[in-house]
Structure 1
Amino acid sequence: MTRSENPEPRGRYFLLSYAHSPPLASQRPGDLDRWVTRFFGDLDQAVSRHRTEGSGLGGGFFDQRIPLGSDWRAALAGALETAEVLVPLYSPAYFSRLQSGREWESFRRRMLRAGVEDPMSRFVPVLWTPVLGEQHREWARDVPLFEAASPAYPDNGLQALLRLKVYEDAYRIVVDRLARRIVAVAENDPVGPSPADDVDRLDSPFQPEAAAARFAVTVAAPTTETLPPGRDPEAYGSGSPQWRPFPEGHELPLAAYATLVAERLDFAVVVTGVEKLGDDQHDKPGIVLIDPWFVATDGGAETLRAYLESLPLWVLPVVVVDRERHDPRITALARETADIVTDASAPRAETARRAARGIESFQEFVALVPFLIVEAERQYLRKGPMQGSATDTPEARPRLSRDPRAVPGREADD
């Protein structure tokens, strides 16, 4: 093989692991985790500067770089199997979220199976924000603090150094030292790709007894058996949750994508198809994904209207209009569906009203889903059946996000 053939990398330098932030109502979609995004770009560039030419390793992995609509689980699994170093961004939220803890544990187990005597030597943790809890400070004891760069780093965390211009030089020094350490670990003793445990089957080592709050994703869409005559069956499957509009937009069913987003925000998700619409799904926050073509099925309009009339404020209807298949009937169906939702549903916040009016692209759906999930949680916490309910257990009820910015009534700090 010649040098010009550019062989595929045999692994990657690092995987960035962090706690996803729940959005604020005033935020734009592009602002979510923007400081993490900026830090990853800076760190990846610094690693590129210090890497040895011909190392055979690819750059860092950051889940925000996964192409829109791709299989997020498969991409994360691939990164966990190929990264030489894990870079966790330690914060109170990181130690509280099941997803981040599971990523941490999956990587540690992979290192053990690979014969690494000290798996923690393959971690290059970052103090992203001050770690407040005593038990969490114990986990963060191995964070390289680089006090010589700036005493502000151990006191305030790297995010503060990134955000405040007065600490710009100190931030650059810390990033450079992190990059040097990543390159040294990855190149001096490469482990190579190896299997990693499925994160969904692991407990978080930080809070092994924690149970995720539950979130409902209900789908009102036809199946291949109930599809109206003349409708293109490509977007449908044997069950309602398999509905996949926007054929060029995403690999996964729409419900599967919503599930991934909710899981990042620390929910355990229950997906229910159209055949279960009559069941009681109102004891948890949730969203209802509605295909206007469901209204055209036998009895679909009546079923949807009856379901929506009993819908609590913490379950948000989301009408998704697929115009990409150019079926002339969709305009009238979308209008009829929107009228059913408007007539049957109580007044809601602007984000929820926008979703009820109709989403017409996968990009718009991706942008809105985190906001809808957080809005459903907020409504449940404010008005849901949390007192004296038979389902009022740690497993069944949602918990306030560990990110203080997402607590109802709490203002953002930026």
Structure 2
Amino acid sequence: MHDSRSDADVGDASPYFFLSYAATPAPGHVPAERPLPDKNVAEFYADLSAEVTRMSGTRARMPVGYVEAPGRDRAQTDRALSRCHSFVPLVSRRYFTDTDCGRQWYGFTHRSPAGALLPVLWTPVPTTARPVVVDLELPVPQPPATATEVDPQTLELYAQDGLYGLRQDTDHAAAYAQCVRRIAQCVVQAARRGRGPGWAAREPAPTAELPDAFAISPLHPLGIAVLAPDIDHLPPGRSDVKYGRGPRDWQPFSDTLGTSLAERTAGLARNLGFAPTVCTFEQAEPVLLGRTQPTGPWVLILDPWVLHDPRAAERLAAFDALDLPWVTVLTPLADDPQTREHQGELAARLRAVLPRRLARGRAIQRAAVAGIENIEAFNSRFMELADSAAQRYLSRAPLASQPRSSSPHTEQQGDQEAQS
């Protein structure tokens, strides 16, 4: 249903949305001039504008959105950014290196009154390549609106390939259309909630004078906890060849050249753009058992031989009972003959204490818990699952750059929410 009132007042003075994109300079373009949006960006802008127009029922003569392009001076862009009801950045690796995009992001997220930040995943971006906290799942409208339907497969393809990938895949044209409708619904909702006296009268800030929100890119924290015996606390009959003075000295794989797995993992994490902190399970226990709030994602590296210790098994079972998607578990299987001989027994102990982790999540997550047999497989799974844990952590954490939402009382006021 549409609002009984005309949406024309959201037109020129207050665009429904501001589309922010990283321009790809064309050969021979004038450096001082913003290049035209490429074909895919321009077509997405047109598709989103059409869907917003349809959903809102607007009769405004001016475009419902704004996209920077040659022929539009900086004053127009500044005015649109200061008055738009939602900010739709097309997120890609290039986006976070574009100074203009960084200034636009800063200008929108630091203005008052706020609007809706609706990031769109254009192409896949690793968590560690994002200098700001941003959730890249497909936007969802706020209650009480019922979100337009999007198939589970579409959500998976969107997360895997981004909206640009969906546009290129002619076999999934319906998936692309579903995503556009969902984004449009969020845009229309933001416009209807944002109406109020003085909205279009705000004084625009010169975008060119704003700081670049992406200029400083701190490393993302990552906790690495190790749960393994030390040389003085081995299970009865267990060979000591893989162990050292503490859990962090554990070396399950023979080809690590005398370097502990914890140390190698920390180096790999730094190469991925994380700032790792390595500790024992005991040191990380307040976080891993839910007694304190995490400040970042975690990876738990587990030696199944430690499960011969009833106390260790009990604490790990308590960890498994919690819903902590921002913690990923990797279980390296040492490459010594004794471990191979007892692999069935060790697997049974894992099933007893980690039933939740072995039954839920993606196949790669379950396989990482069940056992990793060599350093190459460990490296590969760590790289993917550490980033996945980081994404899970960011999706549960408050977005630092997300404008504060209105109070419940304010949100109940105004027009009926956008529905398709």
TM-score of Structure 1 vs Structure 2, range by shorter chain? 0.3 to 0.5
Q: Over alpha carbons, which structure has the higher Rg? A: 2
**What is the TM-score normalised by the length of structure 2?**
0.41
**What is the TM-score normalised by the length of structure 1?**
0.42
